[in-house]
Amino acid sequence: MAAYISMGEAHRRITEYLTRFSDAISSQDGKSLSRLLSVSSDSPALLSLADALNTFQDASRVIRQSERFSQYGDILLHLFRALQSYRLENLVESYMAFEKASNAIVQEFRNWETAWALEALYVIAYEIRILAERADMELASKGKTPEKLKGAGSFLMKVFGVLAGKGPKRVGALYVTCQLFKIYFKLGTVHLCRSVIRSIETARIFDFEEFPVRDKVTYMYYTGRLEVYNENFLAADHKLSYALTHCCTKKEANIRMILKYLVPVKLSIGILPKASLLEKFNLNEYKDVVLALKRGDLRLLRHALEEHEDRFLRSGVYLVLEKLELQVYQRLVKKIYIIQKERDLNRAHQIKLDVIVKALRWLDIDMDVDEVECIMAILIYKNLMKGYFAHKSKVVVVSKQDPFPKLNGKPVNA
């Protein structure tokens, strides 16, 4: 907790902060201003200020002493409260105060003509989210319903609105959007992403290329994930690949996050990653899935899904991976076909359903001939297999030309 400091020292620290604050604004120094706002950063400067505030207790008097400070009274009072509460570990109070301070800053921001304060605005957006998350944790621990993060989302939507206009400030909109995405994903209210995505992508205010690369990568990552959840694999591939290619190669953790979603997407369109890629980025949960697809090993796929079920469910790719079964069936039948070709080229294209039943039994999978016929019918219908099946003779006859069409970057027909 706070070490003992004298009233004089406390007064000095407060005045020093106030001076820095007003100087930053008057000299339009965005970087300095942003440093003064990062409540959750645990920077020594802000921590010592918080101690001073908790000691001095009447900072408003100091603010009123000089016109230079009192003109920002609205902002400063709430900001001080936020810092004090944060130091005393009252996260709910801290969030609420910070939101009020941020609101006051955003009002000023609207009047500042250039975009000099964007960096400070970024810090505000970030802090709003972080403090809200921690406030919600505090609420939950006390058995109350967490709702600060939801409020943070509403607040950031307002900030987005402020930035969505002509002028240089609009390049900040994508950063705020990404903070919103993080909030909505955490809350599970991803349908709220729709309106902000629409503003970014279709409203004529923004030119996507103008935004900073870092923000574009984050944006494409989140929108790519949404496409994965909605099973729009081509769009997901496009967005996540964009994120991957534009992501700084040194940021391996970020690359891993992107790949975690891109790999299932690629698998769904028939593109298999190299084992070395999976190893390099520690994505071993996909190893057996890829192997199952290569081998046509249905048992291995089901086993892999079971083994990593929690992880796949949490990231939301479980259903995508489950659907790969059809491609595994395709591969299995293809292998039988290849083996048959080696024995008797002329009759290889006729595959008895009983042989498939047997092959599945070797994999400990119990399927009767009716179900196998059903699967064959589906494979043909979805163009994973070319040919026909004869019910009476219990045989599937594959076409002599390209009997197992590759997906080649297209998802399986719906």
Partner 1 sequence: MANRSPQPYQPRINNSSSSSSYSSHSDSTQSKIPKASNQIYSNKTSSSSSKTGEFSCRIENSYYEDGDQEPPNLIGTCPFMCPLEERQRRERLRDLAVFERLHGNHAKTSPALAVKKFCRTISSKDMKASDVRPVPVLEDTLNYLLDLLHSSDHPFDVVHDFIFDRTRSIRQDLSMQNVVSDQVIHMYERMVKFHIISYHHLHRSSQTPNTASMSHLNLEQLMKALTTLFSLYEVNRASHSASQNEAEFFSLYLLLHLSPDNQVEPLSLWFRRIPSPVMESRAMSFTRRILRYYRLGNYKRFISTTEEEASYLQYCIVEPYISEVRKLALSCISYGGYKLQPYPVEHLSKILMMKESDVEALSVDCALETSDVGTGKGLVSSKQAVINKTSKEYKKYYELDSSRIRRFVFPVNISASTYIKLNAMAAASGKCLAK
Residues at the interface with partner 1 (CB under 8 A): 81, 93, 96-97, 100, 139, 143-147, 150, 188-192, 226, 228-231, 313-314, 316-320, 322-323, 325-326, 370-371, 374-378, 380-382, 387-392, 397
Burial class (CB in 10 A: 0-12, 13-18, 19+), 53: buried
Residue 47 or 395 having the CB closest to partner 1: 395
How far apart CA 81 and CA 76 sit, in angstroms, is 8
CB of 342 to partner 1, least distance (A): 26
- C-beta of 201 vs 371, nearer to partner 1: 371
CB 384 within 8 A of CB 365: no
Query: CB within 8 A of 293, min separation 6: which ones?
Result: 267, 272, 301, 324, 327, 328, 331
**Residue 124's Cα: distance from chain center in Å?**
20
In the numeric block, the tokens 């964007």 are attached to: 118
Closest CB 281 distance from partner 1, rounded Å: 22
- Give the bridge partners for 396, in sequence order: 351, 389
| CB-nearer residue toward partner 1: 45 or 137 | 137
Residue placing its CB nearer to partner 1 in the complex, 7 or 319 = 319
- The C-alpha atoms of residue 118 and residue 210 are separated, in whole angstroms, by 15
In whole angstroms, how close is the CB of 313 to partner 1 at the nearest point?
5
Min CB(278)–partner 1 separation in Å: 21
Distant-in-sequence contacts of 129-133, Cβ < 8 A, 24+ apart: 129/156, 129/179, 129/182, 129/183, 130/40, 131/39, 131/40, 131/82, 131/86, 131/91, 131/94, 131/95, 131/98, 132/95, 132/183, 133/186
Residue 248 CB, shortest distance to partner 1, in Å, is: 28
Choose between 5 and 326: whose C-beta lies nearer to partner 1. 326
The least CB distance from residue 88 to partner 1, in Å, is 12
Structure tokens at 10: 């406390």
Please state the closest distance from residue 329 (CB atom) to partner 1, in A: 9
SS (H, E, C) 269-298: CCCCCCHHHHHHCCCHHHHHHHHHHHHCCH
Q: Minimum distance from CB of 5 to partner 1 (Å)?
A: 24
Closer CB to partner 1, 175 or 329, in the complex:
329
Give whichever of 97 and 220 is closer to partner 1, judged by the CB atom: 97
Cβ pair 82, 92 in contact under 8 A: no
Nearer to partner 1, 294 or 314 (CB): 314
